[in-house]
Amino acid sequence: MAQSAITWLNDLTALYTPTTSEFDAARRHRATIESRLDAFLGLHEMFEIGSLRHGTGVWSYSDADFLASLKGIQPGSPWTMLNKVKDTLQERFPTTTIVIRRPAVVCRFSDAHVEVVPAYPADAGYWIADPSDGWMKTYPKHHNQYVTDVNKKHDGAAKRLARRVKIWKYMRNVPVSSCYLEMRTAKHLDGEDTYLPLTDLYLTLKKMHDVGLASMNDPTGLGSRFGSCSSDSNRRDALSKLDTAVSRAQKAKDFYVKDDHEKAITQLKLLFNQ
């Protein structure tokens, strides 16, 4: 019997689902990073955020992400904060490549990549560097809860769909924020009563395309708007690739509805560059 399109999609998702052990090396660096930042800059807290924490990470692409809430007075420019954190960590790890990739400081250890997002506390949230410019307010704990609530509503589908959209991002080298993709996916499913894998994959991509990858309001109503890309050139590149993705996802959905799984899988392979 020929493979169904849903089975193919499930197999792809399983292939790119990280195991917990794959991130053990990155997590082992946490204690040293936390100790260094606390000693030299002062920390309120440091905790894990991002796709690994949310259960939407992609094997071999997602890093371990930590938010570091700093003590002291918030500077006028986020670059001051980012450079201080980078310099402090570089002195501790002189042979490690450490770079700034807003809003994070990325430590490229030989056995793992660790992203540290410096922040200053703001009520129940945090001020971090906006990927485009200036500061933005974020509520990672509330955002995680929002995605988790939508995920429960659809029996795990929200995180599964978010991972699939991120697989497309990485397989097609699309310069769009993973956080943006995750929140757009959750927002889409939050408004749906049922989940249909190929239909909702198509609709998630189409909705982002229809708004031109515009910044989105925080669905929790708490934080700043979520930006999609770090520059206009990246946004144009992402939109071009998204246009192709929408066409392929629609064809895959339509072939699936017609029970033509072979052609549906062909379109999915093109979508995910398999």
Contacts of 198 (CB under 8 A, 6+ apart): 5, 6, 9, 249, 252, 253, 256, 264
What pLDDT score was predicted for residue 221? 80
What pLDDT score was predicted for residue 53? 65
Extended strands (E) in the chain: 43-49, 64-70, 97-101, 104-108, 113-122, 125-129, 135-138
Beta bridge partners of 122: 125
Q: How many CB atoms lie within 10 A of CB 12?
A: 19
Share of the chain above pLDDT 90, in %: 70
Q: What is the pLDDT of residues 81-112, one digit of tens each?
A: 999 999 999 999 999 999 998 889 999 998 88
Indicate if the pLDDT at residue 1 is higher than 60: no
Assign 3-state DSSP to the chain and report helix, strand, coil percentages, each to 5.
55, 15, 30
Identify the burial level of 22 via C-beta atoms within 10 angstroms of its C-beta, where 0-12 means exposed, 13-18 middle and 19 or more buried. Answer: middle
- CA-to-CA distance for 177 and 93, rounded, in angstroms? 27
Instruction: Find the largest Cα–Cα distance for the chain.
Output: 65
* Two tokens, residue 70: 């700093």
Pick one of 3.40.50.11540, 3.30.870.10, 3.30.1370.60, 3.30.460.10 as the CATH number of 20-138. Answer: 3.30.460.10
Beta bridge partners of 226: 216
What pLDDT score was predicted for residue 63? 75
* Two tokens, residue 143: 């955002």
Indicate if the pLDDT at residue 60 is higher than 90: no
pLDDT (mean) for 255-266: 97
Residue type, 154: H
